[in-house]
Amino acid sequence: MIKTGIIGATGYAGSELVRILASHPNVKITTITSQSYKGKNYGEIYENFRHIEKVCEEENIEEMAEKCDVIFLALPHGVASGKVTKEILDKTKIIDLGADFRLQDAKVYEKWYKTPHNALDILPEAVYGLCEINREKIKGKRIIANPGCYTTCSILSLYPLVKEKMIDLKTIIIDAKSGVTGAGRGISLGTHYDEVNESIKAYKIASHRHTPEIEEQLSYASGEDIVLSFTPHLTPMNRGILATCYASLNNSYSYSDIKSAYNKYYKDEYFIRLTKEGIFPETKWVKGSNFCDIGFVIDERTNRIIVTGAIDNLYKGAAGQAVQNMNILFDIDEKTGIDCPAIFPV
């Protein structure tokens, strides 16, 4: 059994981790921590977890490293880099669901996140855990940076087109929508029911922190520096990401040409599903699952391609992908514990 610990187990991503790992056949949850709820039984915080007899402990990552094979960090940005050390990594593996190890350029991280990076000695060792693209790099590593939710959906949607140089890299525009759980469980006026219900809004226009993450990973794929436009929107639903991506095509391509590019990279990827021609992804078809659905159409009038991707922000965009990374690290079937269809209706 893989002995796991979760630091930050009472946030939305943390609770989704608990839900998945509690029924994972190869996992034993040894420790869960919470700064806000230490000493409380997990079932008192989330009544849907009454069957899980686990008390939230005060976080001590050094002690956890001694008894856990892997520790999941579900923490705000700027926190993980102050906790993870080489000594910790000598004893356990780390999967960080936060942003601290996603960007390899610390100066870019500090510019966008407005906080110093406190683990510059470890940063080069971190692997970006987008499983379908970096699977071989993930194997055997000690620290995995679990990608962001917007970034997972956006990168997977565009990767084959960028890799095959089928689009003009200077024309990429990503218009993305997220459910309210993407904002976390903390109290904020902007996520109150009255503020969100019956409304949709763009936010952090031209300044969202997932922008450099998308740019960095797509730049690796293309071999060229990419600068793109990314605009996120908050929608009145609990969970889900829908990313609509636009780019000018470099040639006159048919639907079959584009589909061949996606099949080249994704035909053996269980968790990526290409929709049929004329059918486009919807968040309800991926909710509560680790699937990423992708569909596209060629706008012949403008010679642009429009790609739509959909994921569950808490599952493929956070906890499900983290468990997928764990499965890869421990060389077990990648689908173990996360092979479930979407929940609908809900």
Structure tokens at 51: 């069957």
First-to-last C-alpha distance (Å) of the chain: 33
149 is a catalytic site residue? yes
Total residues belonging to the chain: 346
* Coil, strand or helix at 332: coil
CA angle in degrees (0–180, nearest 5) for 311-313-314: 125
Sign of CA dihedral 228, 294, 183, 61: negative
CB 295 within 8 A of CB 307: yes
By the 8 A CB rule, do 130 and 102 touch? no
Cα separation of 264 and 160, whole Å?
Answer: 8
338: tokens are 């996360």
CA 13/CA 17 separation, integer angstroms: 6
Q: Which of 56, 68, 131, 149 is flagged as catalytic?
A: 149
The Cα 174–Cα 143 span in angstroms is 29
Which residues face 256 on adjacent strands?
A: none
Rounded to whole angstroms, how far apart are CA atoms 138 and 160?
A: 20
* Bridging pattern class, strands 27-33 and 2-7: parallel
**Can you read off the two tokens belonging to residue 91?**
């004893």
Active site positions, annotated: 149
